[in-house]
Chains A and B, each alone.
Chain A
Amino acid sequence: MPLLGLVIGWILTIFLGLLGLVVLWKIIDGTIDLRYLICDELGWASLSRFQFLVFTFVIAMSLFFVIANQTPPSYPKIPAELLALLGISSGSFVLSKGIQSSRDVSLTEAGNPPAEAPEPAPKPPNP
């Protein structure tokens, strides 16, 4: 039985590694396009999404750092303040989206739809 667990562990580890590799490769070569990663529906960059991205990365990496430094590795107790920080970030994103949507709907109903961001200029081909 322990051997079965070890085999399954290795299969999952190799699978996750390959999956991660494929995702990273596709991001680097542009197949997974991150151009609009922090953009809203109109194509403008959104500060709420940007700060949500920053805090998500910081907390995810710190969580992994803490887990990796435990002997043996185990899930740590997450302080309430850290959850509050993530909650503030995500709550701000949701509220900002709600306010923006209300404004866009009211402008559209008034016959003055909000301005969309101009399309970015295509990159010139490599010489």
Chain B
Amino acid sequence: MSALASVLRYEIWIFLTVLAAVIVYQLLTRRIITRGLMRDKMNGRAFSPGRLQMLIATAGAAFYYVLLIFANDKPGQFPEVPSALLLIVGGSQAVYLGGKAFALLRQLFGVSPPPKK
């Protein structure tokens, strides 16, 4: 039974690790399309500061959580997620979505013209 558990453990580890590596590789070599990731689609601009702050917050929060996992004294338990992390992630999402919603309302009420193609 322990051999079965070990084999299954390695299988899942290898699968998740290789899948993550393949996706990261394809993102870096642009086989996965990343065009327009920073584009302000609501206003037609090439760059959106709201998206940049959300990207930074997402990357930072993910990296910090991975560090918490590896630095945890009890590896068999999840580490405590700080409330500040939730606030940062939630706040950055709120700023991003708020900007999108505001731009949509402006376009719906005709305050700002739709973006040119």
Contacts and interface: CB of A to CB of B under 8 A. Distances in A.
Contacts of A78: 78
Interface in A21-79: 24, 27-28, 34-39, 43-47, 50-51, 53-55, 57-58, 60-62, 64-66, 68-71, 73, 76-79
Interface of A: 6, 9-10, 13, 16-17, 20, 24, 27-28, 34-39, 43-47, 50-51, 53-55, 57-58, 60-62, 64-66, 68-71, 73, 76-79, 81-82, 84-85, 88-89, 91-92, 95-96, 99-100, 102-103, 106-107, 110, 112, 114-115, 117, 120
Interface of B: 1, 4-5, 7-9, 11-16, 18-20, 22-23, 26, 31-39, 41-42, 44, 51, 54-55, 58-59, 61-62, 65-66, 69, 75-78, 80-81, 83, 85-86, 89-90, 93, 96-97, 100-101, 103-104, 107-108, 114-115, 117
